[in-house]
Structure 1
Amino acid sequence: MLAILSAPSNLGLRPPLPGAVPGTAKAPEALREAGLHRALLGRGAIDAGVVLPGRYVDDPERVPGTVRNQEAIVDHARRLARRLVGLREDGFTPLVLGGDCSLIVAAGLATRVTGGGGLVHVDGHTDFRHPGNSDEVGALAGEDLAAAIGRHSPEIADVDGLGPYFDAAATAHVGCRRDDAEVEEVMAAISLVIPADRIILHGGARAAAEVLGSPGLDRGFWLQVDVDVLDPEHMPAVDSPDPGGLTPDELTAFLRVVAPRAWGASVTVFDPDLDPDGVHATTVARIVVEGLAHLGEEAEQAA
């Protein structure tokens, strides 16, 4: 049974403007207003509440190599991970509505505590910036895949000695653009990378079958979906829109196939501040309802 858990974090993002804060913290309630909760509750899901983040602070004086809001991110990750572990132990499949991509740390902690499993990272970018390849480290939402497999600083990638959270050999990335700065590094680091253009050419179902056939993902996995995998024509309400992305139907087709094997999922980076009429919230809600309705239904067999 699905458990809808809100995690309205904006801690991993850069400020959109000087003195402003990112709007992703508003996403869960914007999606509720768009009818997501009503649709899933009508299918038997439960509302599992919210794990609130700490205050967003843009600290230009932070130590080089650390990330913005680092202590608050770690605190939120621990608290969210405890909720995820509890839901899993009670037989629920958590569907986390973010929030930004830093939520992957909580998913990683929960994965390690509950016995491991892989990661399917769906994102328009590789999110693989880390201290070893960039002097611009600071926004974990652009560094989350690196943190997930242990390539970031230990303060982020080895919280409580549990890193790496996911085995690189059991990690797949789906949706980056071919010109992503770290795409070649990611291809060498993890088991599978499927750029967006391959999905556009061959379809979401074929890409999903490739993911499910990838080594290491037969034990189940966490599924993180950053909606900037969509083309800006369909989803401009994200912090880093990038042309060459998927259509809602292509993403939904992919999710329908992979979601039943996932033990949980997170949906991230939708920014309601960039969607004043609620049009794009409706798009995200439809993708979640149609693509993730059967989340976790085959996860026990895969675990």
Structure 2
Amino acid sequence: MITLLSAPSNLGLRPPQRGSVPGSAKAPEALREAGLHTRFAAHGALDGGVLLPGRYVDDDDDRPTGRVRNEAALVDHARRLATRITDVFDAGRAPLVIGGDCSLVVGAGIACAQRGGTGLVHVDGHTDFRHPDNSDECASVAGEGLAAAIGLHWPAIADIDGLAPYFDPRHTAHIGHRDDDEEQEEVRRLLGLVSPAALVIARGADEVAAASARVAGPNGYWLQVDVDVLDPSVMPAVDSPDPGGLSAAQLTDLLRALAPQAVGASITVFDPDLDPDGRYARLLVDILDEGLHGLGTGLPA
């Protein structure tokens, strides 16, 4: 059974304008208003409460070199999220973390590493593979989360409590980037499997999901889903929309195929500030309800 954890963090994102705050922290409550918790309760899910983040600060003018935005608050939040996820694991349930931005994969990684490790299936419209060895622009963990998850970021982010790598790159599969992604060749060299959005569209969600699950491992994997994997014509309410993404039906099929073998999942980067009438929140609730209600049901008891 599923336990929903609300994690309204925006700590890993750049500000949309100087001095402003990203809207992704509003996502859990926007999705609750759109019926997410009611829909999952019908499947037996529990409401595990809210994990509040520290204050977001636009610190571009005085942040030291070698640190990411909101670093102390982000690391603290990752540790606390890991504790909450562990509590759900210990109760014999599958955590479904509703974010928030995709730096939440760090907290999920800590929790999984503390239990001996699992694979990772990373579904995202970008590879999120910026790191200090390939860029001088490291600052926002939401664009660097996959690199951090496999141990390639600064130790303050990628090696919290000496647990690096949170996920073994050989048992990590990425799905959904666009054909012009700058880091895709590096990702292909390092990860167990990399499948662009075009491959899902061409071959079908079931084939890509099955291959990804084999790489991520028979003992289960964490499923990280950034909703910008959807095409902007379907889901424009994200901070970095790029054409060439999945349809709602394709993402639903992909999640439905991946969910049973997942030990838990996180859903990130939906921005209610870009959804004034709530239509995209309602669409996302439909996708998640249909795609993830079987989360963890295929794992050994």
* Residue type at the aligned position of 1:286: D
- How far, CA to CA, are the matches of 1:54 and 1:79 in structure 2? 11
Query: Conserved in 1, the CA contact under 8 Å of 2:121 and 2:221?
Result: yes
Q: 2:86 maps to which residue?
A: 85
**Structure 1 unmatched runs, 5+:** none
Q: 1:122 maps to which residue?
A: 123
**Would you say 1:289 and 2:289 are equivalent positions?**
yes
- The Cα of 1:300 is off from its aligned counterpart by 2.9
Q: Deviations over 1:190-230 (max 9, x none)?
A: 0000000011111111111111222x422210000000000
Query: Conserved in 1, the CA contact under 8 Å of 2:2 and 2:46?
Result: yes
**Would you say 1:189 and 2:193 are equivalent positions?**
no
Local SS of the residue matching 2:135: coil
- How far, CA to CA, are the matches of 1:123 and 1:22 in structure 2? 18
Q: 2:258 maps to which residue?
A: 258
Q: Deviations over 1:223-248 (max 9, x none)?
A: 00000000000000000000000001
* Residue type at the aligned position of 2:106: V
Local SS of the residue matching 1:101: coil
Q: TM-score, normalised by structure 2?
A: 0.98
- The Cα of 1:62 is off from its aligned counterpart by 1.0
* Residue type at the aligned position of 1:199: V
Q: 1:9 maps to which residue?
A: 9
- The Cα of 1:19 is off from its aligned counterpart by 1.5
- The Cα of 1:107 is off from its aligned counterpart by 0.4
Q: 1:62 maps to which residue?
A: 63
Query: Conserved in 1, the CA contact under 8 Å of 2:226 and 2:269?
Result: yes
Local SS of the residue matching 1:37: helix
| Matched positions, count | 300
Q: 1:179 maps to which residue?
A: 180
Q: 1:232 maps to which residue?
A: 232
* Residue type at the aligned position of 1:63: P
- How far, CA to CA, are the matches of 1:15 and 1:235 in structure 2? 20
- How far, CA to CA, are the matches of 1:181 and 1:66 in structure 2? 22
* Residue type at the aligned position of 1:265: A
Write out the 4+ residue segments of structure 1 that deviate beyond 6 Å after TM superposition.
none
Which residues in structure 2 correspond to 1:1-303 (within 5 Å)? 1-60=1-60, 61-214=62-215, 216-300=216-300
Q: Deviations over 1:251-279 (max 9, x none)?
A: 11011011100000000000000000000
* Residue type at the aligned position of 1:175: G
Q: Deviations over 1:141-194 (max 9, x none)?
A: 000000000000000000011111000000000000111000000000100000
- The Cα of 1:20 is off from its aligned counterpart by 0.9
- How far, CA to CA, are the matches of 2:5 and 2:281 in structure 1? 17
- How far, CA to CA, are the matches of 2:35 and 2:29 in structure 1? 10
* Residue type at the aligned position of 1:194: S
- How far, CA to CA, are the matches of 2:203 and 2:48 in structure 1? 37
- How far, CA to CA, are the matches of 1:132 and 1:208 in structure 2? 30
Q: TM-score, normalised by structure 1?
A: 0.98
Local SS of the residue matching 1:218: coil
- How far, CA to CA, are the matches of 2:180 and 2:65 in structure 1? 27
**Structure 2 unmatched runs, 5+:** none
- How far, CA to CA, are the matches of 1:218 and 1:82 in structure 2? 24
- How far, CA to CA, are the matches of 1:50 and 1:199 in structure 2? 33
- The Cα of 1:21 is off from its aligned counterpart by 0.2
- How far, CA to CA, are the matches of 2:281 and 2:101 in structure 1? 15
Local SS of the residue matching 2:103: helix
- How far, CA to CA, are the matches of 1:79 and 1:207 in structure 2? 33
- The Cα of 1:66 is off from its aligned counterpart by 1.4
| Cα root mean square deviation, aligned | 0.8
* Residue type at the aligned position of 2:57: V
- How far, CA to CA, are the matches of 1:120 and 1:80 in structure 2? 19
* Residue type at the aligned position of 1:35: G
- State the identity as a percent: 61
- The Cα of 1:14 is off from its aligned counterpart by 0.3
- How far, CA to CA, are the matches of 2:30 and 2:182 in structure 1? 32
